[in-house]
Amino acid sequence: MGIHRGPNIVNKNLVFGMDNGYGVADNDTSTRHAQGKPTTNMASVDLADWGTESSAKRIATGNYYKGQPTYNCRTVVGSSWLAIYETISGLRTAAGSSGTVTMSLWVRNNFDTQFACYAYMGYDFGSTRTIAAHADWQRIQWTVNQSSMNSDYVEFRPYTNNTNIYLECTMPQVEVNVGTATPWVDGERSNTESIIDLKNSVDLSAANVSFDSGGLVTFDGTDDYINVDKDFGDFNEYTIEYVVNTTTNGKMPIAGRTNTNFYKYGAYSWRYKHGGTLGEYYHTGGTVTGWSHWVITYDGDLIKVYQNNVSLGTNGASSGGADFSDGFKIGSWSSASSYSFNGDIPIMRVYDRALTSDEIEQNFKIYKKRFNI
C-alpha cells in the first residue's frame, strides 16, 4: 500500500514530513505512515508452509486479505489439539531466558456459529480466543513467557468440530519480546523502516523511541527522541507544523536544535525560540493539554504562531532565518538533553516558505477531523 498523505494537505515546498500515527477520529490504516515497532516475524508468513497434523485441514481459498493468501483451517474433527503447526528453530534462544514469545493470526468466521481458537506455544497453556458468528477479519494473539516453553514448536488450533466448517486464516506472526503483537511484517522491520519520511529523503530511526500498544510511536518523557540527521541548509523563510498530544506539565521540547526550537513550558505556556536569544518568541496562555495543532511561520521578517488555526500573535525576528544545516531532533533538543517530551507527536512537517493563513486552515481542517482536535 502506498503512502496516503490525505486530501488537500499542502505539499508545496515541503522539505520534511513525519507522520507516525493513526487518526483518533478515524482509526483507519489508510492514514497510517508508521509501519510499527521494529521486529522480526520468525514464522513462515504463508500458512501453506506450515504443517498439518493428521487430518487437520489448511485449504487455500484463492482469496486474499491485505495482499496475503487466506486458508480455510480447522483442527482434526473431535480434537481441539491436532491442528496447524510450525517448529521455529532458535525461537526460545531469540527470546532469552526472561523474554516472551507472541503469536498472532488474522481470522474470519464465515458461519453462523461462534468457534474457539486455541494455541500451543512450547507448552499447552490452554488460552482460548472466541471468534463470534459471522465475525469479520480480526487479529487474535497469545503471549507466553519463554521460561514456560519446553520446545520451539508453535501451533494454532481453530476448533469447529465439523468436517465442512472452517475458520478462514492468514498472516501468522511469531515475535519475541514485544509484549503485544506488532503490525504484520514479511520478515524483518528494522529501526529505519518503522517511521517513514514523507519526502523519502532521510532515514528516521526508531532506535530511541517508545511504542504504544497499537504499535505507534510515542515519547516516554525520559530519553526518547527521533533524530533527523540531514543538512537542510538555512531557511530565509519557513513553516514548522506539529500535531501533539500531552497531559504532562513542565518544560518539554517538541523538536528543535540549538537555536530553533519549540517547547512546552509549564502548565499554560508554549514557547518558540528562533535564532537564539535575540530572536526568542514567547507565548503564554492557551490550552496545552490534549490534542492540538501548532504552526510557526517566518516570512523573513515576522514570526507568527497559530494554535488550532487561531493566531496567537506576531513577533519580529532580529536574527534572520533559521539554521537547519545540522538537522534537528523530535522530542528532545539533543540526545544528552535533560528535557524530553512526554506524549505523542504524530505529525511534524517543515516547509522552506511561510504558509499562508488559508493554507494553515486547510491543513488544520484535515488534522482536526483526523485527530478529533
The alpha carbon torsion through 323, 325, 327, 332 (nearest 10 deg) reads -40
pLDDT tens digits along 71-96: 999 999 999 999 999 999 999 999 99
Buried b (16+ CB within 10 A) or exposed e, 125-144: eeeebebeeebeeeebbbbb
For residues 272 and 286, the answer to whether their CB atoms sit within 8 Å is no
**Residue 24's pLDDT is what?**
55
**Residue 316's pLDDT is what?**
66
Mean pLDDT across the chain, nearest whole number?
A: 84
% helix, strand, coil for the chain, step of 5 = 10, 45, 50
Name residue, grid cell 489439539.
Answer: 81
- pLDDT bin (cut points 50, 70, 90) of residue 326 is confident
Max distance between CA atoms of the chain, in angstroms, equals 80
Q: Which tops the pLDDT comparison, 105 or 212?
A: 105
- pLDDT bin (cut points 50, 70, 90) of residue 176 is very high
- pLDDT bin (cut points 50, 70, 90) of residue 259 is low
The mean per-residue pLDDT over the stretch 323-342 comes to: 74
Q: Rounded to 5 degrees, what angle do the CA atoms 70, 76, 80 make?
A: 95
Grid cell, residue 19, equals: 507522520
pLDDT tens digits along 25-58: 444 444 456 678 899 999 999 999 999 999 999 9
- pLDDT bin (cut points 50, 70, 90) of residue 1 is very low
**Residue 298's pLDDT is what?**
84
φ/ψ bin of 337: left (φ > 0), alpha (ψ from -120 to 50), beta (otherwise): beta
Single-letter amino acid code for the residue at 280 = E
Sign of CA dihedral 306, 309, 313, 315: positive
- pLDDT bin (cut points 50, 70, 90) of residue 285 is low
- Give Cα 282 distance to the centre of its chain: 32
**Residue 332's pLDDT is what?**
81
Single-letter amino acid code for the residue at 20 = N
- Residue 338 pLDDT > 80, yes or no? no
For residues 349 and 16, the answer to whether their CB atoms sit within 8 Å is yes
Name residue, grid cell 528562533.
Answer: 274
- Residues β-bridged to residue 173: 104
Q: How is residue 370 annotated by DSSP?
A: H
Question: How many of the other CB atoms lie within 10 Å of CB of 158?
Answer: 29
Question: How many of the other CB atoms lie within 10 Å of CB of 355?
Answer: 25
Radius of gyration (C-alpha) of the chain in whole angstroms: 25
For residues 264 and 252, the answer to whether their CB atoms sit within 8 Å is yes
Domains detected in the chain: 14-38+190-371 (2.60.120.200), 40-176 (2.60.120.260)
Question: Alpha-carbon distance 155 to 159, whole Å?
Answer: 12
pTM summary value: 0.75
Question: Alpha-carbon distance 151 to 128, whole Å?
Answer: 20
pLDDT tens digits along 222-239: 888 888 888 887 788 889
Question: Alpha-carbon distance 244 to 342, whole Å?
Answer: 10
**Residue 188's pLDDT is what?**
94
For residues 47 and 156, the answer to whether their CB atoms sit within 8 Å is no
- pLDDT bin (cut points 50, 70, 90) of residue 157 is very high
The mean per-residue pLDDT over the stretch 330-350 comes to: 79
Q: Rounded to 5 degrees, what angle do the CA atoms 345, 351, 253 make?
A: 35
